[in-house]
Structures are given as C-alpha cells and as structure tokens.
A and B are shown apart, each in its own frame.
Chain A
Amino acid sequence: MLLKNIYNEFIKILAKPRSYIGIGALTLLICIILFAMKADGSSFISFVTSSFEQTLSFNGTILNGNLIAFIILQMLIVHIPLLVALVTGDLISGEAAMGTVRMLATKPISRTKIVISKFIAGAVYTFILTLWLIFLSLFVSKFIFGSGDLIVLNSEGLVILKEQDILWRYGLSFIVAFLSLLTVSSVSICFSAFAENSIGPIVSTMAVIILFTIIGSMEVSVFQNIKPFLFTTHMASWRSFFEDPVPYSKIFNSIIILVVHNVILVSIAIFKFNKKDITS
C-alpha cells in the first residue's frame, strides 16, 4: 500500500503546475547567470582576484565551467529552499485545502504511511531539483566555458584545486546539498501537517530559514550554544568539499545534524497527522 501511495503522490506532483515553477525558475536563473558571466565574467573575476594580484599572478583560464558552477551553487542554494517548499509545503495542507484529505483518510492506508509516502515523493522531487541544478550549473557551464582548475575563496584564504580533482568533490557536495534541501522539505512537510492551507507552510518554512540564518550569522554569545544545532548552519556544508584538505569530521557532523532534523521533523508530522481530527 505504501508503494501504491508513493506512486499516487508522484502522479499528483507531476500533474501540479507548481511543480514545474521550481524547475523553470532554476533554469531561468542559471541561464541569466551564464549569460552574465559570458557577457562580463572577466570583470567579475578581476574584482574578486584584485586583492591577490600584488602577491599572486594567475595563469590560464580562471573563468571556466568549474568556477561558474561553484558560483551558481553559492548563489542559488540560498533560493532553492523556496522552490522546494513551494511543492513540499503543499503536500499535506494542499489535501486539506482541496478537501481530498477526507477521501484519502477514509481509505485503508494508515495515516503514518500517508505522511511517509508524501515525504518520499517530496524527497524524490527535491533530488530531481538538486540534480537539475548540478546538471545545469556544472555540465552546461563546462560546455559553454570549458574546463579548468578551480579557484575557491573561503575563510582560510584561496584554494586552488586541480581540474582532475574536482568532479568527485561536486559529486559529494551534491549529496550534502540534497540532504540540506531535504531538511527544508521536511520542515515544510512538518508545517504542512499543522496547516489547512498551502501558503502557511511555505511562508513558515522560509521564515524559519531566515530566522535561523540570522541567528546563525550573529556573533552573539547567547546564540553560540544553539548555532551548531540549527539546520541552517549546516546547509552550506557542501562547500567544505572544496577545502583542502577536506574536513571530513566537520562534514560528517553536519550530515548527522541534518539527518536527525529530518527524522525529528517527519516524526512530528506523522504524530500530528495521526492525532489530527479531519474536519475540513
């Protein structure tokens, strides 16, 4: 029954126009960034590298597909949660708003399975969205700008990664980025179990992300103790794969925090949906 309902959930997601807004918006945004980089990427690079020009000289093509992919990922990973929440925030509350939750809950499938099947369908959607992001940012960028070494500027300074040392890093960062977005999906599904309309969970998810991001970025001692446990703190962990050496223990810690968040949030959604009186 679980598999049958997962299949049902896929059909619903595929048929909803809003599911394509995310993919369409992502494609448009990446095309705009690619166009901007193609038109005036060298100025952008000079601006970033100008502070190093007195101590370093750069040879070769810095503005290549690997760098563009990194820039795109940095820019968009902040906005993709909204595109994820747009679909996943509607998964349970959308049924309540439409009235179909009555029909669904009177079928011989447990409410726990209903939530799990929605979570799995939402996870697959998030996976596809992340995959599309990686495909467009990495492969299309490489096709347009060619390949080359990657220069990354992080808090430790400038990291130069060899061309042949990059693809696996993108592969693993994709997994962590997916896990981050899956946590966003779980947040919105959790809110969705409490709501009777689609807008509430989407807005609430974004509000939580903004709130946690602000708390995480404030260097105030009172927030320092909770900061490591906020999922938003770990949403940029994919970037750690572009450090040298890769801080595996830090990444592993982030993965644990994100997985725990997912488990807790889906459990809350299951508990709430099971206890809920369906009166809509």
Chain B
Amino acid sequence: MSEVVIKVEKLAKNFGSFEAVRDVSFTVNKGDVFGFLGPNGAGKSTTIRCLLSLIRLNAGTIQMFGKSYATHRNEILSKIGSIIEKPDFYNYLSAQKNLEIFARISGATVSTKEIHEMLEFVGLGGRGKDKTKGFSHGMKQRLGIAQTLLHKPELIILDEPTTGLDPQGIIEIRNLILRLKNEQNKTILLSSHQLSEIELIANRMVIITKGKSLVEGNVQELLNAQELTVRLELSDVNKAIPLIQQHFANVEITRINEVEISLSIEKQQVPHLNKMLGDNNILVYALEPKRKLEDFFMKIVQS
C-alpha cells in the first residue's frame, strides 16, 4: 500500500458567514502528481492554504506525512515547497538575496553554489544579482519554483504554477514537474485551470466545486469510464449523419458547420466508425478526440 502524504477529511472553513470550503476530502500518496481541480471560487486556494497552515480549519482534519500541524508544524513544513497563487518576493532585494532569505529559514542548509545552480535550473542564470522589482510575472514564477525546490522538499504544492507563462514556459514547467516526479520521486499537488496540463501529467485527481469534493481517483480510470467526444471533418456531412445514426445506436451528433460534426462514442467504436465512413465513400479529413478531461470536468461541475 502506498505511503499517504496528504490526508484531508471533511475539511470546512468559513470566513464569517461565507462558507469557502464545506466538505473536502482527498488523499495524496507518495509519488503522486495529484491534480486539484475546480472552477473559480470552488475553494481550491482556501484548501491549499489550509494544507500549508496559513489559515485555520473550522472542521475536519489534515494529516501531512501522517502527522498533524498541531503537534509537528515545523517538521511538516520543512518537507514542503509551495507556490500559492503567485510567488511574491522582496522587490527591493535581488533574486539571489531572496532565495538566500527563504533558504535560511527553510530548515535545510543551502549553499550559495546551490542557489546559483537553482537559478540556472529555472532559467534565471545570470539574473541573480538583479532586483526582483524588474522581473516579469514569468520570471517571478520561475524564481518561485526555484524557491520551492531549493530545500529539496518531499512534497511540492503548486497553485496555478503556469499562470502568466508563455507557451514555452508552460511546456518547461510541465517537463520540470515530470522530471521531479520521474527522477526524484517527488509528490506533487498541482492546482491548475489548465485541464490539458493536468491530463498530461497527473496520475490522480480530485474535483471540487462549491467547497465540496465531488470526484477523486485515478485520472485514466476516471476518464476511460467516460465516452469519448470526437470531432470529425468530413467530405459529406449530410450523408454521414444518417449513416452514423443507423450504425451506432443512441449516438448524439452535433453539427458544428457544413463539414464538421462532433459526437460522443465509446473509444472501442472509433475504428469501426472510421471504417464505416470509408466504406461509404465519405472522406475523413480529421478525426480528433476532444480533451476528455475538459468534458469530464464540465460534466462533474455542471451536475
């Protein structure tokens, strides 16, 4: 059985009369890249703040590495690296000084050489002496990741780490997360609106909405249980629609335009669909699965 790193049970948090989180439960195992999903205002950031002891719970329990914040706060925090929403730094200090400040109180000994290496690692080599005041959001995000990793934490909590990054930056962060998981076996809790990112890198996930966790489990298992939505670009849509309805019972077809349709179908039936269209002289210019997690997420949230 996997070692449990985070165990949250029936978490609840109110701000006055506002119920930010009312019933969130999930478990993150060692080595997981755990997707933490939910629409805006679902209570993701509040939950993450609770996980980092930034705010107090009104009800429920949080166990980190099998221990409670009430008795092992500093020990727990020394094993965690985190970025909450956006990383903020002392803008009157240089990037290097900022890292030195956070490293000094991180519970680990970090040498100047390691700080330089970390700056290189996140693509800020040569910018260590620059004040963070002049850094772009993307650069601060990279520095935030450097700060997160500097003391070699076991658990990394990233709240929207790709916000404000350019496409190259997003790919780099994705690759970085995968490297941390694959090469260093880090446990990562990743909150993101980029569902495609979560689908690509997370092995487990939870979806929360209105302060309540709705679905938790293995990403692939959850998605495979769903029908696949595919977009088809065809030579003759008018001819194709009745043929599909004839061959595949209860398939819901949506006509997008004169040459495109979309439909939900079981994954195993996709080759048959393609063959049937070909056999009937309908040319298939494109057969593209829509993002499955996006559909799954919308279905859960809307339900």
Contacts and interface: CB of A to CB of B under 8 A. Distances in A.
Contacts of A100: 88-90
Contacts of A12: 90, 93, 101
Nearest to A2: B105
A245 interface: no
B97 interface: yes
B97 A11 contact: yes
Given A106-B52, A108-B74, A277-B56, A4 B104 contact: yes
Nearest to B82: A106
Contacts of A4: 104-105
Contact of A15 (B73, B75, B93): B93
Nearest to A109: B105
Contacts of A277: 15, 49, 54-56
Contacts of B101: 8, 11-12
Interface residues of B, number: 33
B91 interface: yes
B107 interface: yes
A105 B87 CA distance: 13
A174 B53 CA distance: 42
B229 interface: no
B54 A105 contact: yes
B159 to A, nearest CB: 10
B77 interface: yes
B74 A102 contact: no
Contacts of A1: 74, 105, 107
A100 to B, nearest CB: 5
Contacts of B75: 108
Given A4-B104, A15-B93, A103 B87 contact: yes
Given A4-B105, A106-B82, A279-B54, 9 more contacts: A11-B97, A12-B90, A102-B88, A106-B52, A106-B77, A106-B80, A107-B105, A108-B106, A277-B55
Interface of A: 1, 4-5, 7-8, 11-12, 15-17, 98-100, 102-110, 275, 277-279
Would you list the 5 A-B pairs with minimal beta carbon distance, nearest first? Answer: A99-B88, A277-B55, A108-B74, A108-B78, A278-B54
Interface of B: 15, 49, 52-56, 73-78, 80, 82, 84-93, 97, 101-102, 104-107, 147
11 contacts: A8-B105, A12-B90, A98-B90, A100-B89, A102-B84, A103-B102, A103-B147, A104-B105, A105-B52, A106-B54, A106-B80
